[in-house]
Amino acid sequence: MDIKWDKILVTGEPMILASQIAIVLTLLGVILGITYLKKWKYLWTEWFTTVDHKRIGIMYIILAVLMFFRGGVDGLMMRTQTAVANNTFLDAQHYNEVFTTHGVIMILFMAMPILMGIINIILPLQIGARDVAFPHLNAMSFWITFAGAMLFNLSFVVGGSPDAGWTSYFPLAGKEFSPGIGNNYYMVGIQIAGIGTLMSGINFIITIFKMRTKGMSLFKMPMFPWTVLVMSLIIIIAFPIFTVALLLGTLDRIYGTHFFTVAGGGLDMLWANLFWLWGHPEVYIVILPAFGIYSEIIPTFSKKTLFGYKSMVWAVVIISCLSMLVWVHHFYTMGVGPVVNSIFSITTMAISVPTGIKMFNWLFTMRKGRIEFAPPMMWSLAFIPTFLIGGVTGVMLAMAAADFQYHNTMFLVAHFHYTLIPGVVYAVFAAIYYWWPKVWGFKLNERIAKWHFWLFNIGMNLTFFPMFFAGLDGAVRRSYTYSADASFAPWMFVSFIGALFLAAGFASFVWNLVWSIKNRKDLAVSHDPWNARTLEWATASPVPAYNFAVQPEVDRLDPFWHMKKSKEGLTLKKEDIKPIHMPSNSGMPFVMGIIFMITGFLFVFELTIPAFIGVAGIFACMIYRALDYNDGYHISTEEIIQTERTWREVK
Amino acid sequence: MANKTNPSLPLEYQSEQGKLNILGFWVFIGAEIILFATLFAVYGVLGVRHAGGPTQADIFVIKEVVIQTLLLLTSSFTAGIVMWELRRNNQKGINIWLVITLLLGAGFLIMEINEFQHYYELGATLQTSAAMSSLFTLLGTHGAHVTVGIGWGLLLILQLSKHKLTPKTASKLHIFTLYWHFLDVVWIFIFTYVYLAGVL
């Protein structure tokens, strides 16, 4: 519609100009670097076209770490701006954009992809499978998520960032009050990434139901696959709601419909309801796999089996059901009356019961165990008290009457950072330290890991604990500045200091990766460096393309632990090895991702006809895939024996 | 693993990958149910908010809609016959009934386009009111699904002529008919909840 084409590139902002230059230089550097090292062919054949779940997982994690950096810089900018009263580091508009992109990127392009990456790598290994159920679809999921993330990130240099908050409430996010194209990026970018997530959800469900190894009934499955199964079910139920909400939002913004507008009979609160019908389950989509990660790490480093396995499973299932029944607690102040508010208040508080069960189970797992303070365990130990603070303040917020006081204050911001950072980020760090040797065959440096751990933990508490008090003193969230005589000013400054610690913590994490990769020869370890319990440790590190030469047979929980105890099933016999069928690589997912990105871009700029040509391109990819009758190839027994002999005996 | 065959099973269940694909598509239909349920909910909330514009009773021509319904329901029946012909291993029969199914679907689609044009002439457009926005979005999403279905069916005829009846093409056919029946089920809800409730 009325787009000012001459003002498409965001200008007049020194920081954005600097990042524009930085982006161009980095891109040039990367392209020239790859060309100089003659790595294009390697990248294309080994990575861009891969359908191997482990490599796709690694690409997810690389994407997520980059997004973590971007989202972290956004957060740091916010804390800098609010460090002192009447600061002029960012103006109001820029601040709006920064808190919007911080939220979207951290939830949808950091937490989700990094968990998808870990799941991709670990899930098939833990259930003794050779791959996920649909390897090709898996690659498509990744490239579509990648396309959504890139499109969303393009916003701050081309066209302007979305600025209506990560919740993007209407009517503010509508055309009337946000006439620029920034919020189109929100609607289209997330829609694209959401398609990828939905496909991953289907893939994981079928993988878990159909690909488990011989003897592994559902209740002999480790805890992590269980949480992935429940997470995937939530994805199937919650994501289509968001798909519709984003579609309606797009129609409102681009095609002048009246779903959420003030005029024409629209209802703005309908958006809030649809958003949180997805948004609250989304919180559990990211936190359940993280719970699963802790349930793997704590038993390993306590040298005990998981306490209360069945109650853990049922707790996860109950949490997932309740997660669908609490969405109104995000807007008690909408004014639906005391009865509705009370119902949602009760369902919200009820969630703390199964969550409490899980907490006690972890504690009882450690009781009388021989606890080893390796980096993954340190993160798990830090998680318990930190997450508890988040949980308890959550119960405070759940009380509808009290919530009217906390609503939209920094108290809420502190609460959800106290749940999501220990709940997801700590788990992700723990998982990376824990499974890194499985993926690469060497450990990460423990000394730098400790620096990373302490800096990040101090930073986390220093940043977010003061926000509870600031919020109670009346600091509202999403406000770019405050007056000099506000009583909460000192808390805001402490919070800024904490943010610097967080940044230092993240930097030491990255430094650890760099240092360890450089010194990988000294850090090399065997296939089972932690003396662990589950099947992923029963094969070589790095894991061969076919995962298991012979799929292991399982008759109880912690199968690998018992295999080591009884010394059975560890040796490989020649006659058991058969040729292994593998799916062929394909460039189509990558191409499809690119077309998705271009199509999304055209929709963002409201160029309907070219955009529909793009949609036709997406269908062309699907037709190409449908007519592709390539059935893959086989790895010969000789090759398997050769690979296996590099790390164990083959009789 | 991917091509293990068990001749006692129906053709589409004979390969491992075929089985996985069919189950995966069932889960996808689960997601589609949520998608349409959300659209129905939105219509339920906004369908009465006409903002002074035309109402459903002003624009609906129920006779036309009944014909549309009959076309689509019949196409679901013929899609069932496609599966029956698949069980009999009769590729010619499959082709004939598939073409009939798609023709019925195309007839439905043409009538829906005419219907939209008729509404447009009466001054009921996507932008008229919240009620019309939600009506057109619900019907349009269903119509878009039918359109995709027709293209998909044509593609299947092409693949059948090239690869004949194999576990792979059979599972593709099975999945297509699942999709087609699903669209029919959605239409039954649209017919009662939107059209009948709209004119009563």
A87-145 pLDDT, tens per residue? Answer: 999 999 999 999 999 999 999 999 999 999 999 999 999 999 999 999 999 999 999 99
- Residue carrying the six token digits 């980020």: A425
* CATH class, range B15-44+77-199: mainly alpha
Report which of A576, A544, A570, A569 is spatially closest to residue A642, judged by C-alpha positions. Answer: A544
Task: Collect all residues of chain B within an 8 Å Cβ-Cβ radius of residue A243.
Answer: 35
Whether the pLDDT of residue B4 is over 60: the answer is: no
Asked whether the beta carbons of B195 and B62 are under 8 A apart, the reply is: yes
**DSSP notation for A244-263:** HHHHHHHHHHHH---SS-SG
- From the list B3, B38, B168, the residue facing A241 with the nearest CB is B38
Contact A427, A293 (CB under 8 A): yes
Secondary structure of chain B: what % helix, strand, coil (to 5)?
80, 0, 20
| The pLDDT value given to residue A623 | 94
Structure tokens at A236: 């199937």
CB contact under 8 A, B34 and A241: yes
Using the beta-carbon criterion (under 8 Å), do B133 and A203 form an inter-chain contact? no
Mean pLDDT calculated for residue range A347-351 = 94
- Coil, helix or strand at residue A650: strand
How confident is residue A317, by pLDDT bands cut at 50, 70 and 90? very high
Question: Which of B1, B32, B127 has the CB atom closest to A256's CB atom?
Answer: B127
As to burial, measured by CB atoms within 10 angstroms (0-12 exposed, 13-18 middle, 19+ buried), residue A32 is exposed
Domain boundaries defined on chain B = 15-44+77-199
* pLDDT over 70 at B53, yes or no: yes
Averaged pLDDT, B32-61? 95
Question: How large is the average pLDDT for residues A44-71?
Answer: 95
Residues in CB range of A164: below 8 A, 6 or more apart: A96, A100, A172, A173, A178, A183, A186
Taking the CA of residue B104 and the nearest CA in chain A, the distance in Å comes to 23
Q: For residues A319 and A351, what is the distance between their CA atoms, to the nearest angstrom?
A: 6
Contact partners, residue A255, CB within 8 Å, separation at least 6: B126, B127
Q: Is the pLDDT of residue A462 over 70?
A: yes
Of residues A258, A239, A257, the one with CA closest to residue A192: A239
Please say if the pLDDT value at position A252 is more than 70.
Answer: yes
Chain B positions touching A255 (Cβ under 8 A) are 126-127
| Nearest partner of A516 among A597, A426, A452, A590, judged by Cα | A452
pLDDT of residue A216 exceeding 80, the answer is yes
Closest residue to A265, CB basis, from B32, B35, B129:
B129
Q: Which residues of A touch B4 (CB under 8 A)?
A: none
Nearest CA in chain A to B128: A264
Q: What is the pLDDT of residues A555-565, one digit of tens each?
A: 999 999 999 99
Give the one of A236, A245, A632 whose C-beta lies nearest to B31's C-beta: A236
Tokens 């576990």 identify what position? B167
pLDDT at B2 over 50: no
Q: Which of A402-416 are b and which e, b meaning 16 or more Cβ less than 10 Å from the residue's Cβ?
A: ebeebbebbbbbbbb
The predicted structure's pLDDT at residue A278: 96
Residue type at position B59? I
| Residue B12 and residue B167 in contact, taking contact as beta carbons nearer than 8 Å | yes
The model's confidence at residue A568, banded by pLDDT at 50, 70 and 90, is confident
- pLDDT, residue A2, reads 60
- Chain B residues closer than 8 Å to A206 by CB: 20, 23-24, 27
pLDDT at residue B8, rounded to an integer: 78
pLDDT given for residue A211 in this prediction: 94
- CB A270 to CB B45 under 8 A? yes
The pTM score is: 0.95
Greatest pairwise CA separation for chain B in angstroms: 64
Measured distance CA(A166)–CA(B38) in Å, rounded: 21
Domains of chain A: 1-272 (1.20.210.10)
pLDDT at A3: 67
Q: Which residues of B fall within a CB distance of 8 Å from A258?
A: 51, 127-130, 133
Letter for the amino acid at A610?
P
Whether A9 and chain B come into contact, CB under 8 Å, resolves to no
Give B-chain residues touching A274 at CB under 8 angstroms. Answer: 38, 42
Judged against a pLDDT cut of 60, whether residue A297 lies above it is answered with yes
CA dihedral A558→A564→A569→A572, nearest 10 degrees, is 130
B51 and A203: CB-CB below 8 Å?
Answer: no
Across A124-144, b (16+ Cβ under 10 Å) vs e yields bbbbbbbbbbbbbbbbbbbbb
* Lowest-confidence segment of A17-26, A424-433, A506-515 by average pLDDT: A17-26
**How far apart are the CA of A581 and the nearest CA of chain B, in angstroms?**
6
Identify the weakest region by mean pLDDT among A241-250, A418-427, A450-459, A623-632: A623-632
Asked if pLDDT for residue A27 goes beyond 90, the answer is no
Q: How many angstroms separate the CA atoms of B37 and A244, rounded?
A: 10
Residues pairing with A528 in the sheet: none
Neighbouring-strand partners of residue A635: A580
- The strand pairing partners of A409, in sequence order, are A476
Tell me the average pLDDT of chain A. Answer: 93
Residue bearing the bigger pLDDT, A16 or A243:
A243
Where would I find the H helices in A519-607?
520-523, 559-566, 588-604
A570: left (phi over 0), alpha (psi -120 to 50) or beta: alpha
Q: What's the mean pLDDT in B115-122?
A: 95
Q: With 80 as the cut, is the pLDDT of residue A465 above it?
A: yes
Longest dimension (CA), chain A: 80
Place of tokens 């094969």: A539
- What would the mean pLDDT of A370-392 be, rounded to a whole number? 96
- The whole-number pLDDT of residue A463 equals 97
The pLDDT score that the predictor gives to residue B1 is: 41
Query: Hey, is A105 helix, strand or coil?
Result: helix
CB pairs under 8 A between A and B: 115
Pairwise pLDDT comparison (A601 vs A10), residue with the higher score: A601
pLDDT at A310: 96
* Nearest-angstrom CA–CA distance, A163 and A100: 6
The minimum CA-CA distance between A215 and chain B, rounded to whole Å, is 17
